[in-house]
Amino acid sequence: MSRELLVSHLIGRVVRDADGHKVGRIEELLARIELHEHGNDYVVAEFHVGAYGLLEALTGGVFAQKLVQRFGPLVGYRRFRIPWEWMDLSDPAHPRLNHTRADLDALAAS
Amino acid sequence: MEPVDGVQLVHDVLDACLTDRNGRKIGRVDALALMLTDGEPLRVSAILVGGPVRAERIGKWMVKLRGAVSSMLHHDREFGVSRVPFSAVRGIAETIDLDVDGTKLPSGHLERWLGDHVIGQIPGSRGEKK
């Protein structure tokens, strides 16, 4: 079954891992070209999810988020690059990973 | 900043300037539609320009205002939206080049109407000399 959704409806959504723990918010979607006989498609290969740590409550606005991203790890900000296969979008309002936070940390370290 | 090997849909595409096949500027990317199919990656299906998607970007008050005006004029909710299939994208750089005729897109209707009926009525607007 196929359905349509807008990028703007995914950006900012809180992502939780398979255990229900909060991972962060979707910040970016990385698309790559997929070549076919009948043409090309842009498909989403990765979701970039930002975790603001203790500053989460202060990063409601775009300006505050950009500021925190600029200072990165100094202020507890982390960005995860999550493969599309890991993301369960059966409920796009509540995206969920089919892996745990430990798997994500292992992926980021590799 | 780590390098990326693909197109960043928010950074590179959303809000980017669009040009048609004649090099004419035809607006900005107000929204990107994705096709979600079970067991497959999301596919970028269309660029949306104008209408309610532009109003959404401005704010809820604009969505309400636009909805009120549309119902007064008996327009449907999607009036004024241009939906360009992503397969019409010819290049993504500083602008996004589309293989479409910009004069036929519904999102340019208001701009064309203003050009013909308001701006075009101002003396000298058509470049004529005294």
Q: Compute and round to an integer the Cα radius of gyration of chain A.
A: 15
Kindly report the CATH number assigned to the domain that includes residue B87: 2.30.30.240
Please indicate, yes or no, if residue B1 is contained in any of the structural domains: no
The identity of residue B50, as a single letter, is G
Distances (CA, A) of A87 to A7, A97, B66, B111: 15, 5, 35, 41
Given a cut of 90, whether residue A4 has pLDDT beyond it is yes
The pLDDT of B15-34, averaged and rounded, is: 92
Which among B29, B42, B47, B58 is the top mutation candidate for probing chain A, defined by the most A β-carbons within 10 Å of its own β-carbon?
B42
Strand partners for A82: A47
The pLDDT of A45-73, averaged and rounded, is: 74
Q: What is the ipTM of this complex?
A: 0.82
Q: In chain A, what are the domains? A: 7-109 (2.30.30.240)
Chain B residues near residue A45 by CB distance under 8 angstroms = 6, 41
What pLDDT is recorded for position A65? 72
| Residue written as token pair 């309002």 | A93
Please give, rounded to a whole number of angstroms, the shortest distance from the CA of B68 to a CA of chain A: 23
CB contact under 8 Å between A6 and B53, yes or no, is yes
Please give, rounded to a whole number of angstroms, the shortest distance from the CA of B83 to a CA of chain A: 12
From B1, B31, B27, B2, select the one nearest B14 (Cα to Cα). B31
Distance CA B127, CA B125 (A): 6
Please indicate, yes or no, if residue B4 is contained in any of the structural domains: no
Q: How far is CA A72 from the centre of its chain?
A: 16
**What is the model's pTM?**
0.79
Given a cut of 90, whether residue A98 has pLDDT beyond it is yes
CB contact under 8 Å between A42 and B56, yes or no, is no
Grade residue A75 by pLDDT with cuts at 50, 70 and 90.
low
Given a cut of 80, whether residue B71 has pLDDT beyond it is no
Chain B residues near residue A39 by CB distance under 8 angstroms = 87
Domain extent at residue B64? 9-121
Pairing of strands B17-19, B95-98: parallel
Please indicate, yes or no, if residue B126 is contained in any of the structural domains: no
pLDDT in tens, B72-130: 777 776 677 889 999 999 988 889 999 999 888 887 777 777 777 888 888 887 776 65
